[in-house]
Amino acid sequence: MVALTSAAAVVSAPRRHRLRVWRGIILALAAAYFLIPLYAGLRFSFQDDAGHWSLYALRAIPSQVGFTGAFWLSIKLAFTTLVGTLVLMVPTTIYIHLHLPRVRRLLEFVTVLPIVIPPIVLILGVLRAAPIWLKASPYLLSLMYVILTMPFVYRSLDAGISAIDLKTLVEASRSLGANGPQTLWRVILPNLRAGILSASVLTLALVLGEFTMASLDLWTTLPVWIYQFQQTDGHIATMVSMLSLIGTWVLITVMVSLDRSESRRSRRKAEVA
Amino acid sequence: MSQVQGNGGGSGARVELRELVRVFGRTRALDGFSLEVEPGELVALLGPSGCGKTTALRALAGFELVDHGQVLVDGHDVVRVSPQDRDMGMVFQSYSLFPNMSAVHNVGFGLRMRGVRATARRDKAHELLELVGLHEHAEKYPHQLSGGQQQRVALARALAIEPRVLLLDEPLSALDAKVRTGLRDQIRSLQQRLAITTVFVTHDQEEALSMADRVCVMREGRGEQTATPAELYSRPTSAFVAHFVGVSSRVPVRRDGATVGLWGAAVAVRNPEMADSDVDAVLRPEDVVIVADPAGQATVVHKSFLGAITRVTVTVESAEVRVDVRSDVARDLNHGDRVALSVVARDVLVSPRDERVAIEED
């Protein structure tokens, strides 16, 4: 038995080593796939036209024509979309889980449609059908983005709700005297925090980077401005695009750490007690 | 404390369910179900899966609409009253504590919804947690509590609002045997101390018989028999109740007026209103005695040691009969031994022979 075991160990050791090597290679390839363009972008944005290291692109950003307007428009669109998405999707998903569980599959299918239908088709259709006053407003884009983010938002919320016993929690709350809004505010939403957070992060990331619809609707959001400004100064445009990427990461990290520190605080409070 | 609504937790309400009907598609979950619960009484709804016991409890709580019938609390029909306004505390089968709140906040939740001030709420919640022996866990979150502790917090939470009626929906079924027995005694003792009218749903007959003042055995959306545990066991009014509560054996017998012939003796029939002549006698293990006898009519096929007694299964003609025998006597009985049977009960329940199939299918 001992001999058998050690023989198996002798055979498996090189195999384990080979597996480790392959795992390393695959990880390195995946990292290179993401990091090389990022490195190239960062390097280009910190160089001047002569190829020397320089911070001129960073310093020049605020004074560029149209940057501030595009930046704030993107931020406004991101937050209006976030509010619209959560107001529409949170109650809908909860209602379906509680009262129409059979509709879940249908809703799953419907929410996948924005992925299947290209954004260009969606925006052209809407531009034909929308009334003129809505076409004149940038918030038409928010309405479109609510549709665009639906697949990700629905899945995040659905996973969050499936992780709790929603029906029992709602019934327990009602049996204790809470009405619908009180149950939603004090019981359901706090327990859906992770799902709502992940939906919010995905919504913000998607809206801050969306180009096709904004450009066809003729609104200069940050991605559209970057594209247009590239023809004027590639270094500045690349620097803005890098900062936009870093900004989105920072936003996501802040939101996730806020959630984590909140859970840690609750845990510590309980442990101290 | 005076701000706490409810009736003061010392005088439970009288509850009456009248002819409740609830239909789901083709299934009649409640089929004219009626029940009366006196103030301060604990009534258990007992029955197999799908008999309608949980639907009845949910109809009482207001979570299930009824198609027909009345739910009366102290004489007032509450069918159209929403669950949050019924003033009933409920403990659920699955752990229902709010995961985002500590134990003390869970217990104080109902009081908060009733507008009770924070200090009074906290005092009351601590008082209730002390009552269920969890005072030292007040600041813990549900995930830091065991299943038994969670259900005790849920009980404290339901009691905190001083409900008119306490509803328990299989609150012990997810717990292990030892915790279940302890919590069972604790619930009963609290319920008696606070004299809260309580309706308790369970499929565990031991739980129902040991806790309830009265037990309602349900079958196919109807109440089959409602009686005290002792009466239900010793005087079941139907073969279904005899089969579901305790252990019983069915022996085909020939009816002869008010008696049946059982192994050479004429035994009185408990339910002479039964008109059929081809019937089964329904026997409890203690209704029969066996004696080792090489010329006896039955054969020992199985023995189960239960401590002071041993349950011996014998076959006689086509029937299997279970008999309780003192363990020291049963030691001498072996598989294949011939034994003589006789009935010691003063009367027996009889049921139509064709009912056997229906009961076995239940």
* A58 domain residue, yes or no: no
Judgement on whether residues A36 and A147 belong to the same structural domain of the protein: no
* A119 domain residue, yes or no: yes
Residue B39 burial class via C-beta count within 10 angstroms: exposed 0-12, middle 13-18, buried 19 and up: middle
What's the pLDDT band for A269 if we cut at 50, 70, 90?
low
pLDDT over threshold 50, residue B273: yes
What's the pLDDT band for A11 if we cut at 50, 70, 90?
low
Give the model's pLDDT for residue A98: 93
What's the pLDDT band for A2 if we cut at 50, 70, 90?
very low
Judgement on whether residues A117 and A173 belong to the same structural domain of the protein: yes
Higher pLDDT, A183 or A135: A183
Judgement on whether residues A23 and A82 belong to the same structural domain of the protein: no
Average pLDDT over residues A4-33: 81
What's the pLDDT band for B54 if we cut at 50, 70, 90?
very high
Q: How far is B236 from chain A (nearest CA, A)?
A: 35
Judgement on whether residues A164 and A246 belong to the same structural domain of the protein: yes
| pLDDT tens figures, A195-215 | 898 899 889 889 988 999 999
For A206, the domain range is: 65-272
Judgement on whether residues A118 and A165 belong to the same structural domain of the protein: yes
Q: What is the Cα–Cα distance from B1 to A211, expressed in whole angstroms?
A: 61
pLDDT over threshold 90, residue A249: no
For residue B61, the Cα-to-chain-centroid distance in whole angstroms is 18
Contacts of A89 (CB under 8 A, 6+ apart): A150, A153, A154, A157, A199
| pLDDT tens figures, B12-33 | 899 999 999 999 988 999 999 9
Taking contacts as CB-CB distances below 8 angstroms, the residues of chain B near A192 are none
Judgement on whether residues A138 and A187 belong to the same structural domain of the protein: yes
* A159 domain residue, yes or no: yes
| pLDDT tens figures, B205-230 | 889 999 999 999 999 999 999 999 99
Residue B189 burial class via C-beta count within 10 angstroms: exposed 0-12, middle 13-18, buried 19 and up: exposed
Judgement on whether residues A26 and A130 belong to the same structural domain of the protein: no
Q: Considering CB atoms only, which of B113, B140, B144 is closest to A176?
A: B113
* A55 domain residue, yes or no: no
DSSP B296-330: -SEEEEEEEE-SSEEEEEEEETTEEEEEEEEHHHH
Here the ipTM equals 0.81
Q: Considering CB atoms only, which of A171, A174, A266 is closest to B141?
A: A266
Q: State the Rg of chain B over Cα.
A: 24
Taking contacts as CB-CB distances below 8 angstroms, the residues of chain B near A178 are 84, 109, 113
Higher pLDDT, B277 or B105: B105
Average pLDDT over residues B287-291: 91
Judgement on whether residues A12 and A80 belong to the same structural domain of the protein: no
Give the model's pLDDT for residue B196: 93
What's the pLDDT band for A216 if we cut at 50, 70, 90?
confident
Judgement on whether residues A12 and A144 belong to the same structural domain of the protein: no
| pLDDT tens figures, B192-206 | 988 999 999 998 888
Contact A176 B140 (CB under 8 A): no
Contacts of B296 (CB under 8 A, 6+ apart): B290, B338, B339, B340, B341
Judgement on whether residues A221 and A171 belong to the same structural domain of the protein: yes
Q: How far is B85 from chain A (nearest CA, A)?
A: 6
Q: Considering CB atoms only, which of B83, B98, B161 is closest to A174?
A: B83
Contact A187 B92 (CB under 8 A): no
* A109 domain residue, yes or no: yes
Q: Considering CB atoms only, which of A177, A267, A269 is closest to B84?
A: A177
Contact A168 B96 (CB under 8 A): yes
* A50 domain residue, yes or no: no
* A182 domain residue, yes or no: yes
For residue A17, the Cα-to-chain-centroid distance in whole angstroms is 37
pLDDT over threshold 50, residue A77: yes
Question: How many C-beta atoms lie closer than 10 Å to residue B164's C-beta?
Answer: 25
Query: Which CATH number characterizes residue A140's domain?
Result: 1.10.3720.10
Judgement on whether residues A262 and A154 belong to the same structural domain of the protein: yes
* A52 domain residue, yes or no: no
Contact A187 B98 (CB under 8 A): yes
pLDDT over threshold 60, residue B7: no
As for how many domains chain A has, the answer is 2
Taking contacts as CB-CB distances below 8 angstroms, the residues of chain A near B96 are 165, 168-169, 171-172
A172 touching B (Cβ < 8 Å): yes
Q: What is the pTM of this model?
A: 0.79
Judgement on whether residues A19 and A129 belong to the same structural domain of the protein: no
| pLDDT tens figures, B114-167 | 999 999 999 999 999 998 889 999 999 999 999 999 999 999 999 999 999 999
What's the pLDDT band for A137 if we cut at 50, 70, 90?
very high
Question: How many C-beta atoms lie closer than 10 Å to residue A153's C-beta?
Answer: 27
For residue A127, the Cα-to-chain-centroid distance in whole angstroms is 26
